[in-house]
Each structure stands twice: as structure tokens, then as C-alpha cells.
A = this chain, B = another copy of it.
Amino acid sequence: MDEIRIIEIKKSVFAENIQTADQLRARLKKEGSFLLNVMSSPGSGKTTTLTKVINLLKGELKIGCMEADIDSDVDAKTIAEKTGVESIQLHTGGMCHLDAEMTAQGLDGLQGKHLDLIILENVGNLVCPAEFDTGASASMTILSVPEGDDKPLKYPLMYQVCDLVVINKIDAISFFDFDMEKVEKNIRFRNPKATIIPISAKTGEGVDQLAAWIKKQVKNWKEN
């Protein structure tokens, strides 16, 4: 009984969310802002990666950042201090993901800034954020080497919904039992079309490729 009620509510929540997400995408198109949804496990290096890539892109694109967390404001502060771009913290109030409505509320805080690129750092979680369309123009996930090459087998939806998979902390690869060929095979099993970029946010290796990928997405999106 309860289960059926939950499934019904979930269906209605998902349907409403998709509608809100589509409205948000239309609004962003009108405003000329590309929204990139960044997801990963806790501690995969989302904030460090974003700091590096924003510093490479901020000369060419006007960038804003929304940092979602259940609690604390360490990430928004880090981004603002290390990149100088406009950065706001979104507290989810205990929620394990962001939906399109919460994203829209966050965007209101950045309105009128005429941003080319808005980066949304989602809650660190490989499950729930993959279920909710945020209204983003593209989605990426970060898998860090210490987490292991089997993650795409265990968290299917996350890898299915992402356009880009960044493999982070490759500078630590000799320290961990992580097989680059195996992880690529596992990612392809979930998503044959995903782009894969190995990086080290710490040393900077590969971050230029990530920046180029983002720039290309923004350019293509503006032209279409």
C-alpha cells in the first residue's frame, strides 16, 4: 500500500521535475547561459577541479558558480577565493540531490549577471542526483582513481545520464589498484557515447582538455 503511494508520488515528482527542467532550459537559452551540472561521489575532487578549470576559462567566458551542499559553505568560499568568480552556496536542507526547482531558485541569485557559463556543483552522491534533471545544458561526473574502476558497474544511471566522465587524481594511480582500460570499458558498457577525460586537478594534467571540452560545448550550444 505504502509502496504504491510512494511510487505514484515519485512518478508525479519526476514528471513535474522534467517539466520544470524544460522550462529552465528555455529560460537559460533566452538568457544565453550554458548550465553545466557537475556530479560525483563525495571527495572526488569536484571543487578542486572546478577551481582549476574556471581559472583557465574565466578570461574567455563570463562564469558563475552554484555550490550545493547539505550543510556548510566551504565550497562556495573556496571557489570565490581561488577564482574570483561569482559563487553562491545552495543548502538543500538535508536533501540528497538538486531538482530543477531548487536549481531555478539558485539561478535567481545569479540573475542579471549575463553569464556565458553557469556551473552547478551538485550534492556529492552517485545515486539520487542522477535521477533528477536539473535543467542543465550538459552533465558531467567525476570518478577519482582511489574510488576504483568498478564504479560504473555499481552506479549505472550516473554514467548513463552524463555527457562527460572525468577521471580525476590520475597522479595517484601508482598508489591504487586502478586499471584505465578497465574503467573505460566499464564506462562504455553504461554509455557508449560519453567523452572520457583523465585529469589530475592537483597537478593540472589534463585540465586544459577539460576546459577545451567545456568551451566547445558552450560554443556549439550558443550556435544551435
Q: Contact check: which of B12, B42, B69 meets A2 at CB < 8 Å?
A: B12
A residues contacting the other copy or chain, number (CB 8 A): 38
- Residues 62-81 of chain A: 1 if any B CB is under 8 Å from the residue's CB, otherwise 0? 00000001111010000000
- Residues 4-36 of chain A: 1 if any B CB is under 8 Å from the residue's CB, otherwise 0? 011001001100100000000000000000000
Q: Please measure, in the bound complex, the distance between the C-alpha atom of A146 and the C-alpha atom of B201, giving whole angstroms.
A: 13
The answer to whether B125 touches A72 (Cβ under 8 A) is no
Looking across the interface, which residue of chain B has its beta carbon closest to that of A178?
A: B43
The answer to whether A96 touches B128 (Cβ under 8 A) is yes
Query: A131 to chain B: closest CB distance in Å?
Result: 8
Query: A157 to chain B: closest CB distance in Å?
Result: 7
Instruction: Please choose the segment from A52-60, A110-118, A148-156, A204-212 that sits at the chain B interface, where 4 or more of its residues have CB less than 8 A away.
Output: A148-156
Q: Please measure, in the bound complex, the distance between the C-alpha atom of A194 and the C-alpha atom of B153, giving whole angstroms.
A: 33
The 5 closest A-B pairs by CB, nearest first: A43-B147, A96-B127, A146-B146, A72-B153, A41-B42
Given A41-B147, A125-B125, 11 new contacts (CB under 8 A): A42-B151, A42-B155, A43-B147, A70-B127, A70-B154, A71-B156, A96-B125, A123-B127, A124-B126, A125-B126, A125-B127
